[in-house]
Chain A
Amino acid sequence: MKENSRDSKSGKKAAAPSDNVLLQTVEQYKREREILLALSSDLTKVRDKNDLILLFKKRIKGLFYISHTIVTLIDYKDATYTPFLLDNDGSPIRSHQRYQEMVHSRFPLNEPFIQSVLHAAAPISFLLEDIMNEPQSPPFLRVNYEKGVKEILMATLMKEEKAMGFLHVYTDKPGGFSTEFRSIINGIIPQISSAVSNIIKNEELLKEEEEKSFLLDFSSEIATVRTKEGLARAVQGALHKLNPSGGFVIRRINEDKKALSPYVHDLSKTHDKKILTALENSVFPINDGIQNRILNSAIPMLFNTEREIQRSPDSAYLQYWKQMGMENFAGIRLRNGETNLGILLLDLDDINVKLLKGICAQVSIAMANIMANEQITKTQEEQSFLLDFSKDITRVRTRLDLQKAIFTVLDKTMHTQLAMIRVIDDDGIHLSSFMYDRSLFPNTKGTFDDMVAIRITVEETYTAQVLASEEGLMFNVEEELKNGNAYATLWKTTGLKNMYALPLRVGDKNIGTIWMLANRLSPLLVKGICAQISIAIANIQANEQLDGYKKKLEVENDYLKEQIKTIYNFSEIIGSGEAMQKVYRLISLVADSNTSVLVTGETGTGKELIARAIHNASPRKEKLMVKVNCAALPASLIESELFGHERGAFTGAVDRRIGKFELANNSTLFLDEIGELPLDAQAKLLRVIQERELERIGGKQTIKLDVRLIAATNRNLEEEIKAGRFRADLYFRLNVFPIHLPPLRQRLEDIEPLTNFFIQKYARSTGRKIRSISPRVMHKLRSYTWPGNVRELEHLVERSILLSEDGKIEDIYIPENAAEDQQNPALLLNRSLDEVERSYIIETLKRCAGKISGAGSAAEVLKIPGNTLHSKMKKLGIYKSDYFS
């Protein structure tokens, strides 16, 4: 290889020594120094490629003739050098067909041409002709030669004592590089070296600056992002700067952690509807050979679409991307802290790690924020939804309301179907169905109805599990099917994936279970709704109970009002006579037991008072004694009054009515005037007494009863039985413990205290003050026979008080004997012997159907001879008309 050194060239000039020449040389050196100084100072100002190119073009070319200059840089990574800076404005080779190839080529360092440059101590020139045909010589030599370039001057650029690149200077004139020029180049090479390394540094700084400002811009862009759409816009804007035609997709890891779904994307690269829908609506399994690789890689990865298709031919999206013209793509995981959120896939051919990592850090934060935001919004929505539901629920009073509220909420808002609500019965063991959606299982009505009808217990496997769970259970329908859960076949028919079963609790108390079918339910929502439903059910139950109580109270109240009007307002029984003492003894004997008591006595003797006394002395005294006056009700109503009726049991039964028997449950039922009870009712009454349970009229439900019976009558029941008006069996049932009340006329000693008691009572209520009763009045009271007994005395006293003057009762208005009263045995006492004899004979004759003598005749009853009776009748004036009336 022939080297044209500076020395050989300058040889010619040194051959003509003369003063002039010397002077010339001095001048030349001066000029050279000036040029060097000027160039050096210019070179120190070089900041970028353009500055250097300008320097070559304007300054050097202005001084010397050259065709063009090139700076190449060494890459030690692969031991090559490659063009870095081209001053080729006037370059003849720009029109060469291999020009572009040359610009982008990497020329190996290990060949003799460039090695000789590296080993040369100063700039070294070559005639292209001489070296371009050497087998390893770089092709740019020939390219230049082919465009008329003759000679090349190469200088090594040094940095930190290591070759960093080369300065190529070309000329199309052979021998075109003057000594002066070579000297100048040799002089400025260190400055050019530092200028080039400055340019490189500057470019690096600029690039870094750009990256930083890019990331900063992106960061401020991202900071304003609140929604998915905003994120899409921000990412799109940023990536557009990196690759204007490229798209991207962010996929988010689904909640099941098994797949990823598109989150935001820019698929503007394609307009193919089919591809778009396929890409947008797909769920991509996490372990598809690409996504898992990205998620497991801490660094961005570059993929070749074709290679990945060969690796996993099943990944549909790769095929689509290929169709979209994506040769390569980059994938980076999006990670918040230690949690993978998803991946970012980019249409890129190379990777700038710093930039992508920066982008991904921002995107990850934005995504986490959006997701957190979405979660908050969702939670808020759920909460406000719960609030609304709560409002709805507070209005709920009946099952129907609740059902409506629940169905609306579950179906419309949560895409959930209520399968069943079961409520634990009062016994704490059984669960009855409270509410269910029959329409949920339209094809299996029979099965479902069967299941509804079964009263399960808290021990039932699934129910027990649910009740024991803290926050309910989720049964996967498919899994339950596999496990052989009989219910699951039913659940399966709805097409929903999961059965959510939760305990309904009020406080710590289980009140039932709720079963809901859904694909997915938010735990917060479910919990909230269940709490509301629990309360609603408890309210409804309380309401129903309350309703019962209320009805009962109303009935009791009505009844009490009725009672206040009718009963004696005695708080105690007046009377200390021997006859009454006997009664008291009986009361105290019988009160503690549950024995039925039959109180007999004439009208007005205070039978109800005695019944009340028995009740009040009994353990049942805390509850109200219920009284029924059998004589006061029409026969048609008496049964309903006693036993109650269901709604619609008969015409006019517009509401359910609780009977007096039910009302008197756990208490005492006082049947006054039992003798007046119609035979039908007697039969029923007997059954109730015997069975101790009843059914309401028109009802099927049997109601267990614990009622103590006290019956009262002023009739002689035995006679009633004989007459066929009273059932003997009922009589024997009632007459377990008879108490007979003596008539007032047999307890004369009680008349005075009773009179005083009534005077007190009525004086108070009428506002009159009664100071004394004349002894005459008291005498009169004692001598009266009192057919109306105590009641008559009370009324007499009341009347006398109203008629009294000056606070003194002077007289009392004993009623005159009336003819019709004469039959009353009580009245007999006020009549003469003749009168008594006469009426008694008439009475007997009536009973004997007017037969005076003979068998079954009045004479026989009276045990006197027939003639004697005849004469007595004549004497007393008894005619046929008297006893045949």
Chain B
Amino acid sequence: MKIVVIGGSGLIGTKVVAQLREKGHQVIAGSPSTGINTITGEGLAAAMKDTDIVIDLANSPSFEDNAVMEFFQTAGRNLLGAEISAGVKHHVALSIVGVDIMQNIGYMRAKMAQEDLIRQSGIPYTIIRSTQFFEFIGGIANQATQGNEVHLSDVKFQPIASDDVAAFVVKYALGAPLNNKIEIAGPDRFDMYQVADRYLQYMKDPRKVIANGKPEYFGGAVTHAALVPAGLADLGAVSFENWLTTQLQNA
């Protein structure tokens, strides 16, 4: 099958592309660097030719509220428009667990807009809502650092390994379109600050994690359960501890 992976050079994208090629599919890794631009439309029509599946893993280059909304709407419209014209049979997109209940956050509104465009497009689709990736934890800790302290929320947190995310994306992309959303998450559930604490400890980082008790994420107030799946979810195989081990090995 011919599969186009938009955002194919990103964290998840490279893994998805590699896994799909591994399975013998013709895969186009779409990104502005490979001449496929969903914002300007460059290369889009050509890439879509005879394409069966499109996997949209692209992320906005800016996280400012308006820019991110503009990005997901423009990219979504252009991409879906080109897919309709090319007769694409399955559109797979990666979204975020709790995106619908965190609409006070600009980024979540933009991701929701992206989901809505997909649902309204008429193209058979599968939306995969994922929890945060293990790879984010370092960054989350850095953002919350004040001096030698890391002030973090105690919201529920169930991060997942990017390898698992990629595997789920591949699985759902090659499966029949669900025309619905599914949720994926890591195998274990924590409080957010606990994960960061464990990570820093493991990395021998001297910073101290302090639970601030404020339920917030991405700068916006959220419910304690916003970031974790509410019902049934596909759980990744890689535990946080296992992942940490591989991180140290890689480092």
Contact = CB atoms under 8 A, between A and B. Distances in A.
Size range of the interface on A?
20 to 34
A77 B34 contact: yes
B41 A299 contact: yes
A354 B46 CA distance: 14
Contacts of B28: 77-78
Contacts of A293: 81, 84-85
A351 B87 CA distance: 17
Contact of A303 (B26, B43, B78, B85): B85
A834 interface: no
B30 interface: yes
A304 B87 CA distance: 9
Contact of B86 (A76, A79, A304): A304
Contacts of B85: 293, 301-304, 307-308
A353 interface: yes
A428 to B, nearest CB: 60
Contacts of A297: 77-78, 81
A300 B44 CA distance: 10
Contact of A353 (B30, B34, B40, B48): B40
A298 interface: yes
A353 B86 contact: no
B41 A77 contact: no
Interface in B69-84: 74, 77-78, 81-82, 84
B82 A302 contact: yes
Interface string A343-363: 000000011011000000000
Contacts, number: 69
A296 interface: yes
Given A301-B82, A304-B85, A76 B29 contact: yes
A350 B45 contact: yes
Nearest to A303: B85
B128 interface: no
A302 B42 CA distance: 12
A657 B151 CA distance: 111
Interface in A421-462: none
A302 B77 CA distance: 14
Interface in B36-65: 36, 40-49
B29 A78 contact: yes
B226 interface: no
A300 B27 contact: no
A339 interface: no
A110 interface: yes
Interface in A782-816: none
Interface string B1-33: 000000010000000000001000011111000
A301 B81 contact: yes
B139 interface: no
A300 B48 CA distance: 13
Contact of A110 (B21, B43, B46, B49): B21
A768 to B, nearest CB: 113
B29 A298 contact: no
B26 A78 contact: yes
B35 interface: yes
A299 B21 contact: no
Given A353-B40, A353-B41, A298 B74 contact: yes
Given A351-B45, A354-B42, A76 B34 contact: yes
Most buried by B among A330, A350, A353: A353
Interface in A305-334: 307-308, 330
B71 to A, nearest CB: 13
Nearest to A289: B84
Given A110-B21, A297-B77, A299-B81, A351 B26 contact: no
Interface residues of B, number: 29
Contacts of B34: 75-77
Q: Most chain-A CB neighbours within 10 Å: which of B36, B46, B85?
A: B85
B205 to A, nearest CB: 31
A77 B35 contact: yes
Interface in A72-88: 75-79
A208 to B, nearest CB: 13
Contacts of B86: 302, 304
Q: Which of A78, A293, A302, A354 has the most CB of B within 10 A?
A: A78
Between B40, B41, B44, the greatest number of chain A beta carbons within 10 A of the residue's beta carbon is seen for B41
Nearest to A308: B85
Contacts of B45: 300-302, 330, 350-351
B227 to A, nearest CB: 33
Of the candidates A110, A302, A303, the one having the most CB atoms from chain B within 10 angstroms of its own CB is A302
Nearest to A331: B85
Contacts of A296: 77, 81
Contacts of A354: 42
A637 to B, nearest CB: 94
A307 B29 contact: no
B45 to A, nearest CB: 4
A556 to B, nearest CB: 85
Nearest to A351: B45
B78 A298 contact: yes
Given A77-B34, A300-B41, A350 B77 contact: no
B133 to A, nearest CB: 24
Nearest to A108: B21
A299 B40 contact: yes
Given A77-B34, A353-B42, A298 B82 contact: no
Interface string A48-88: 00000000000000000000000000011111000000000
B27 A79 contact: yes
Given A304-B85, A307-B87, A299 B44 contact: yes
A353 B49 CA distance: 15
A127 to B, nearest CB: 29
A75 B36 CA distance: 13
Nearest to A78: B28
A297 B41 CA distance: 10
Nearest to B36: A77
A299 B46 CA distance: 13
B166 to A, nearest CB: 16
A101 to B, nearest CB: 17
Interface string A838-864: 000000000000000000000000000
Nearest to A79: B21
B41 A298 contact: yes
Nearest to A332: B41
A260 to B, nearest CB: 18
A308 B44 CA distance: 18
A353 B84 CA distance: 18
A298 B77 contact: yes
Given A298-B77, A302-B45, A77 B40 contact: no
Contact of B29 (A77, A110, A303, A330): A77
A354 B40 CA distance: 9
A110 B18 CA distance: 10
A307 B46 CA distance: 16
Nearest to B84: A293
A353 B38 CA distance: 11
Contacts of B26: 78
Contacts of A303: 85
Interface in A90-119: 110
Interface in A216-268: none
26 contacts: A77-B34, A77-B35, A77-B36, A78-B26, A78-B27, A78-B28, A79-B29, A293-B81, A293-B84, A296-B81, A297-B77, A297-B81, A298-B77, A299-B44, A300-B41, A301-B45, A301-B81, A302-B46, A302-B86, A304-B85, A304-B86, A304-B87, A350-B46, A353-B41, A353-B42, A353-B43
Interface pairs A-B: 10 shortest CB-CB: A299-B41, A302-B45, A77-B34, A351-B45, A353-B42, A297-B81, A353-B41, A299-B78, A78-B28, A307-B87
Given A77-B36, A307-B87, A353-B40, 14 more contacts: A75-B34, A76-B29, A77-B8, A77-B28, A77-B29, A77-B30, A77-B47, A78-B26, A78-B29, A298-B77, A300-B41, A300-B45, A308-B85, A353-B41
